[in-house]
Amino acid sequence: MQFKKAQRQRFVQGLRSVLDQTDMFANIYVAEDCAPLFDGLVGRLEKADQEALATFVSDRPLYQFVSEFLYNRLLSHHERHPLRTPLSALSGLDLDALAEEITVAIESLPWSYAFAIGVPIGGGLPKSFVWLLGDGVALVRGAKAAALFRKNMTPPPQSKLLSLFPETGQPPVHLLVGVQGFVNVHEGTRPYFLGMDRLKALLGLMMAIRMVDYAPEWDREEASVRIGICLRQPDGVYEHVETGLFGRADSNTVTGLINNLSPDLTSPETWGKTVGSHISAIRRVMEADQATRDRILLGAQWFFESQSGDNDLLRFVQTMVCLEILVGEELKGDQPKLGISELIRNRVAYLIGRDMAERNHILETFGAIYKVRSEIVHRGQARLSKAEADYHRTLREYCVRVIQAEIALLSAGDEWADDFWLDDLLNRAALDPMTDVFDPPIDLDAMFGAFSEDEA
């Protein structure tokens, strides 16, 4: 963004005045009661600049941006004390120069980030690739991905994530989500939540298309899943600058994901049918029109978030919300109005029912499922009965099949080859084009020892 000349001058002067009234805690944290000073400064900007800042940062853009800027700028001043100190009292600071620095930084928005999370699908994918799936989403692995990321010489906390893309051995596959704006993990800016939500949506989509499956280990020690947040530098290379954390339930889902692909490496074509088709399904969603893409991804996010958690009643409702997002849009125009329950069950039945008998079964079953949802929401329940837990499993399967059906509709008429992802990796004229492209098959006997009847 770029301020007009006259407005820029007024903004710098106003910011200088606000900084003179700003107090700090421990010399690096802006006092929260100073936020209205920054809010008032935003209100003096032109409407277009206010909207840009809200998009790139949040509803309190200057307070959140300046707080993070000053935190990074003043780390050398940090002292462990609870005292409140005027910013102007800190040694070595020129508030005129600081106001200009902050303004230059604001005018450089939006910044480009990549949110990275490992996904357990390495066994079916080549050793090195960068595949763009649309709308800033990519699957990456190995040396090609490593070339896009550089080690940060002043790393953030949890800097072990800097080894995202090792070039040797069997490097993990990472899902990347691109985000524009200003990411502040601690204050929770809009681009931060967008990146985290988009990761969950894509993981939910991978679950729905059976690319990964959920198989928890009940004795696994609980740990928060960390997200590497990397910032694009002026030379185009990304550096790890922040670490996001999933909550306990979402972390439990991620750590419970396992590879569900069964790659056939006989030829590019057979690989395309067993693996590439899943990748193409994600791309079809990401390249759909915005309304369709956002609806499927939001539904997939709710599906992901409903997988784990201690409250089965909440998970039931979350799963139903997923289905309502996918097929619950109200009828428009002069079409007859239906209740939400009737609308959803009709659409689900005719979208996924293979024949009239199955459609009738879905119509009958969904009525009972929605009744459980209504009792939870309107009357309250202590827990799910065995029958109601079975209904929840059926409801989750409906979500999976609806998402798959929506993707099938997106693919109608397109002529993509599911193995086209390998075009930049393979010499198709070679006698054995798959050699050395993929990891060697896992030898379970060598890993665990051959099983014999004598050992039983």
DSSP 209: T
Amino acid identity, residue 99?
Answer: A
**CA distance readout (Å), 89 to 24, 93, 94, 147:** 10, 8, 10, 44
> What is the token pair recorded at 205?
């989509």
Over its length of 456 residues, how does the chain's per-residue pLDDT go in tens digits? 888 998 999 999 999 999 999 999 988 899 999 999 999 999 999 999 999 999 999 999 999 999 999 998 888 777 777 789 999 998 888 999 999 999 999 999 999 999 999 999 987 888 888 999 999 999 998 888 888 887 776 656 555 544 566 656 677 899 999 999 999 998 889 999 999 999 999 999 999 999 999 988 777 777 889 899 999 999 988 988 888 999 999 999 999 999 999 888 888 888 999 999 999 999 999 999 999 999 999 999 999 999 988 889 999 999 999 999 998 776 554 455 667 788 888 889 888 888 899 899 999 898 889 888 888 888 777 788 899 899 999 999 999 999 999 999 887 666 778 888 887 777 666 656 676 777 665 444 443 444 333 443
Strand pairing category for 238-245 and 149-150? parallel
Question: In whole angstroms, what is the distance from residue 206 CA to residue 329 CA?
Answer: 24
Tokens 């059976």 locate to: 210
Provide the H-helix boundaries in 264-385: 268-271, 277-286, 290-305, 312-327, 340-352, 356-374
3-state DSSP assignment of residue 38? helix
> What is the token pair recorded at 69?
């800027």
> What is the token pair recorded at 126?
């080549």
Contact between 136 and 178 (Cβ < 8 Å): yes
The residues facing 84 across adjacent strands are 25
The residues, any chain, with a CB within 8 Å of residue 146's CB and separated by 6 or more, are 165, 166, 167
Sheet with 149-150, side-by-side order of all strands = 129-134, 137-141, 173-181, 111-119, 226-232, 238-245, 149-150
Question: In whole angstroms, what is the distance from residue 303 CA to residue 207 CA?
Answer: 9
DSSP 330: P
**CA distance readout (Å), 127 to 50, 85, 119, 141, 258:** 45, 54, 14, 7, 18
The total number of residues written for the chain in this structure: 456
Question: In whole angstroms, what is the distance from residue 296 CA to residue 410 CA?
Answer: 11
